[in-house]
Chain A
Amino acid sequence: MTDDRLRVTSEGPIVAEGRREPLLLPRGLRRVPRGVDELATEHLIVNMGPQHPSTHGVLHILLELDGETVMAAEASLGYLHRGIEKLAESRRHHQVGTLLDRADYVSGIHTELAYAMAVERLMEIEVPEKAQWLRTLMAEINRIASHVLFVGTFGMDTGSMPTFLYTMREREALVDILEAVTGSRMMFNYVRPGGVTGDLPGGIIEKLETFLSTVDTYLDEYDVLLTDNEIFGPRTKGVGVIDRTTAIAFGMTGAPLRATGMDWDVRKVRPYAAYAQLDFDVPLGSQGDCFDRYVVKTAEIRQSLEMIRQLIAGVPEGEYTAKVPRVLRPPAGEVYTAVESPRGELGIHLVSDGSDLPYRMRLRSPAYYNLAVVDEALAGGLIADAVVTLGSLDIVLGEIDR
């Protein structure tokens, strides 16, 4: 037993009385017996997850607790691993979208879009203006649907029940629209290399206008329930602070990075689809705490609504897809494309060997990089802070484990 993992403290492995084997603890976690008079106390190590209401999926976090205080935390992943990247190597390019929908199952349009853009760039396909417009519109609807879900689940993490059900009302309206356009409520498979699968059916613009006319009062309700709430503020302000240097060092993107004041949004820095023609702001935070991450997300909802208003003001004419061959055979080469998904920079690194199957497809999962920081961000807080901090990172395990 000379495994380094056992040498978890400076004193060497700890052998408790009556035990034959040293306690096997994961890296980073220590079990420290401390003498208080005659009583030996030790830190409590608890498993948060994989079955826990607040880990947003099958995430497993080991917490080392001193009373209520979290001394160390270690995330352990892989419970939802389905081998999506490997499976993609045996799918034709048209078919990969269905797999990617199941990676980030809350914002499928964005993952599909990143992949379609990768294939288009390799094959040098010119995407029609109408298709770009449809992609942008659907991506923004999907972003709001994802962000309101975040507001709801984040409310749940702080113990506020109604927000979750209130946000479901908005999400329902948006998912209905997505279903009417794409045919599916979550696994869209809508964005394909070359364009999209279909034009808007009749009545969608009217549906969107109805939604836009009511949504502002609904967003004000969230402010009453959460943002301005006397309990919610102290629960989130100054909690789970991640400074800008740490955020950049961990490769964080999306709202958690922008909450630190870093102006980085793929839609602005490397515009794709029709974003270059849209007029929108990138909401920024300053403290990098849970409250700022929440505020950035809610501000992004309002920006996305503004974008949808601009988009439906001028519907372009034309084809919804370019003429593409039935079997896509991108020339040999590799390409990296990125989109701003609701969780951050979602990238696809696609390597093609010239055949009809991707040689290698790698997904840069934004939530994976955002989650990596929890080991540092949770330490020092309370259990309740750990739950809130984890919730504020807006992780989707399907995309992290892939």
Chain B
Amino acid sequence: MSPLLVIVLRTLAGLGLLLLNGVVLIYMLRKVLAHLHLRIGPNRVGPWGVFQTSMDVVKLLTKEDFRPATADKWLFRLAPLLIFVPSFMAYLVIGFSPTWHFANLDTGVLFVFAVLSFVPIGIMMAGWASNSKWSLIGGMRAAGQQIAYEVPLLLSVLGVVMLAGSLDLKVIVESQAGLWLGFLPKWFILPQFLGFWLFAIAALAESNQTPFDMSEAESELVTGFANEYSGMRFGFMFLAEFSNLFVSCAVGTTLFFGGWLLPGLEHNAVALALGPIVFMVKVYLGIFCMMWIRGTLPRIRIDQMLSFAWKALIPLSLAWVVIFAVILKAVRA
């Protein structure tokens, strides 16, 4: 096969995975929330309602592509793409097994965070272009949130990068192989527990999840930046939210939970062949925890959220980077 065809096919496969993941995650969210809330959830379309979200996508696709008369024509059309494309790009560097990845970059960690930081620009653009006051407030919130939480998110993974000595996601996973004391998996969550805790909070905020869903804030801003969107443009924003959720959890799994590795079975051929499944199970467990949080907690207030980031998360993550670097140097010396 020509290299160009390989790239095209891999990209299409990535897009297919993203769409499928989105549909599955939305169904999962509705079911998980329903059971947390003493409800049943979708149960009409197909067995256990599994086709509900596919039908919703069909509905969104057949809706009118409506644009408010006063909205900024081009920005309004562009914003959903700007939200959707970065999360798709982040997909492409995630490794599902030693051989299953769409593209292997030796600066994978950096790339993921770099492209994901585009998303709030799209949200801001959507809020501005809608020419609606509630949307504008939602967009501005996204900007403030982004600036505050990007820093601790990046700092929180520095410890992992130091441990692995690489920004390559594949190398990071492979350096988590083996066992400590014969039973503890050498996952980076153990030496990096504080790092993981900071990462989890910042990732919740970055992927706009409760209790940090500021730019949507249903009970305050109606639906915030997405207020004026309908049809598939809204669908793209919704899908991007879920693929960001997936990317956050996939990065978390890669960095802290040994990616596709099963502890103690790193050289077992069967276990390696099952790598993608192991990886997906770990990611979905992470996503389940995020949905659990979403279905339980109230929403934090914007000023409390920002002061939490600036006064607690950023100093803590900075201090942790320095302390961990010193410890690592001392241990390795």
Contact = CB atoms under 8 A, between A and B. Distances in A.
Contact of A383 (B136, B218, B221): B221
Contact of A161 (B33, B134, B217, B302): B33
B59 interface: no
Interface in A148-189: 155-162, 165-166, 169
B37 A161 contact: yes
Contacts of A160: 296-299
Contacts of A166: 37-38
B273 interface: no
B201 to A, nearest CB: 13
Given A235-B301, A382-B303, A385-B301, A162 B37 contact: yes
Contacts of B302: 68, 382, 384
Contacts of A384: 217, 220, 299, 301-302
Contact of B219 (A156, A226, A382): A156
Contacts of A54: 219-220
A68 B303 contact: yes
Contacts of B33: 161
Interface string B301-331: 1111000000000000000000000000000
| Size class of the contact patch on chain A | 20 to 34
Contacts of B218: 53, 159
Query: By CB atoms of chain A within 10 A, which of B298, B300, B302 has the most?
Result: B298
Contacts of A385: 301
User: Which has the most chain A C-beta neighbours within 10 Å: B36, B219, B222?
Assistant: B219
Contacts of A53: 218-219, 222
Contacts of B210: 159
A162 B298 CA distance: 9
B39 interface: yes
* Majority secondary structure, A binding face: helix
A44 B136 CA distance: 11
Contact of B133 (A46, A68, A156, A161): A46
A229 B303 contact: no
Chain B CB count within 10 A is highest, among A44, A161, A383, for A161
B301 A44 contact: no
A385 B297 CA distance: 17
B295 interface: yes
A234 B301 contact: yes
B211 interface: yes
Contacts of B211: 159, 231
A324 B304 CA distance: 61
Contacts of A156: 219
Given A165-B39, A169-B38, A159 B298 contact: yes
A52 interface: yes
B137 interface: yes
B169 to A, nearest CB: 33
Nearest to B132: A46
Given A46-B134, A68-B137, A387 B298 contact: no
Contacts of A234: 300-301, 304
Interface residues of B, number: 30
A50 to B, nearest CB: 12
Contact of B298 (A52, A158, A382, A383): A158
Contacts of A232: 298
Contacts of A68: 137, 141, 302-303
A65 B211 CA distance: 23
B36 A159 contact: no
A295 interface: no
A225 interface: yes
A225 B219 contact: no
A52 B222 CA distance: 6
Interface string B111-139: 00000000000000000000001101100
Nearest to A236: B298
B301 A387 contact: no
Interface in B14-51: 33, 36-39
Interface centre among B134, B220, B222, B300 (most CB of A within 10 A): B220
Interface string A219-246: 0000001100101101100000000000
Nearest to B37: A165
A160 B294 CA distance: 9
B302 to A, nearest CB: 6
Contacts of B219: 53-54, 156-159, 387
A162 B36 contact: yes
A125 to B, nearest CB: 45
B97 to A, nearest CB: 37
Given A161-B37, A162-B36, A231 B298 contact: yes
Interface string B75-93: 0000000000000000000
Contacts of B220: 54, 383-384, 387
Nearest to A381: B301
A158 B39 contact: no
A162 B34 CA distance: 9
Interface string A73-114: 000000000000000000000000000000000000000000
Contacts of B36: 162
Contacts of A387: 219-220
A161 B295 contact: yes
Contact of A155 (B134, B298, B304): B298
A52 B134 CA distance: 11
A273 B310 CA distance: 57
Interface of A: 44, 46, 52-54, 65, 68, 155-162, 165-166, 169, 225-226, 229, 231-232, 234-235, 382-385, 387
Given A65-B137, A68-B141, A384-B302, 15 more contacts: A46-B134, A68-B137, A68-B303, A158-B299, A161-B37, A161-B295, A162-B37, A225-B296, A232-B298, A235-B298, A235-B304, A382-B302, A383-B220, A383-B221, A387-B220
15 contacts: A44-B133, A44-B136, A46-B134, A46-B137, A54-B220, A156-B219, A159-B210, A159-B218, A161-B294, A165-B38, A165-B39, A231-B300, A382-B301, A383-B220, A384-B301
6 residue pairs, one from A and one from B, having the closest CB atoms? A159-B299, A160-B298, A165-B37, A158-B298, A46-B133, A159-B298
